[in-house]
């Protein structure tokens, strides 16, 4: 059972690394964006609520986000562990997740913090915007997103830090180098990858 959370500013590569680490440990990578899209596609009651909010251009509330994630964590594939990406993104969501896990007599094993200098995040996001032709990703918009991360998400690291479960990993380097660093830090905690079949 490996229960992980990956945290990092936009442009830190946490989505890519999250998928790689989840595969290495044989657990599902659960990103809020994917969970929202799946709920909308499935046409569930939660999905319909999410769809209406997103179409209005609003942010999904903490309560609804937590409900959608709780629903996803109750699927069979997440019973043996999971990697969360993008949730919890603030202190209220941390509280929701804690209540849910405590109800299952579980807790997070480790929080991976991908550390990337702010100018590196901005450079990566600017490059991605150019490659994907995303005109909305201006430097100003990117800086605003990073400010929201620093204001709302970074404080959750303080909560988990007091428990001694945060592993700060250098997020600069090749994809393989960063993955190897994360795996090494998790294995140093005694979290073993499943034996190759």
CA distance 169 to 172: 9
Catalytic residue among 72, 89, 124, 181: 89
CA distance 121 to 55: 28
Active site residue 163: no
Catalytic residue among 134, 151, 163, 189: 134
Tokens read off for 138 = 């201006």
Active site residue 118: no
Q: Which helix (H) or strand (E) holds 4?
A: strand 2-7
Active site residue 37: no
Active site residue 128: yes
Catalytic residue among 51, 70, 118, 145: 145
The answer to whether the peptide bond before residue 88 is cis (omega within 30 degrees of 0) is yes
Catalytic residue among 3, 14, 20, 72: 14
CA distance 158 to 89: 13
Active site residue 181: no
Q: Which are the catalytic amino acids?
A: 14, 89, 128, 134, 145
């Amino acid at each position: 059972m490996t229960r992980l959370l990956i945290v990092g500013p936009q442009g830190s590569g946490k989505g890519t690394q999250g998928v790689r680490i989840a595969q290495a440990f044989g657990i599902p990578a659960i990103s809020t964006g994917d969970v929202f899209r799946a709920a909308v596609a499935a046409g569930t009651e939660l999905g319909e609520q999410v769809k209406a909010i997103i179409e209005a251009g609003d942010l999904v509330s903490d309560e609804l986000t937590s409900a959608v994630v709780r629903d996803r964590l109750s699927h069979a594939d997440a019973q043996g562990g999971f990697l969360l990406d993008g949730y919890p993104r603030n202190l209220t969501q941390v509280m929701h997740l804690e209540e849910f896990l405590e109800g299952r007599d579980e807790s997070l094993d480790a929080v991976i913090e991908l550390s990337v200098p702010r100018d590196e995040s901005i450079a990566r996001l600017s490059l991605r915007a150019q490659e994907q032709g995303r005109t909305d990703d201006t430097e100003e918009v990117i800086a605003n997103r990073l400010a929201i991360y620093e204001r709302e998400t970074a404080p959750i690291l303080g909560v988990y830090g007091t428990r001694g479960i945060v592993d700060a990993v250098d997020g600069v380097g090749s994809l393989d180098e960063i993955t190897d660093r994360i795996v090494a830090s998790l294995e140093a905690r005694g979290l073993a990858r499943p034996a190759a079949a």
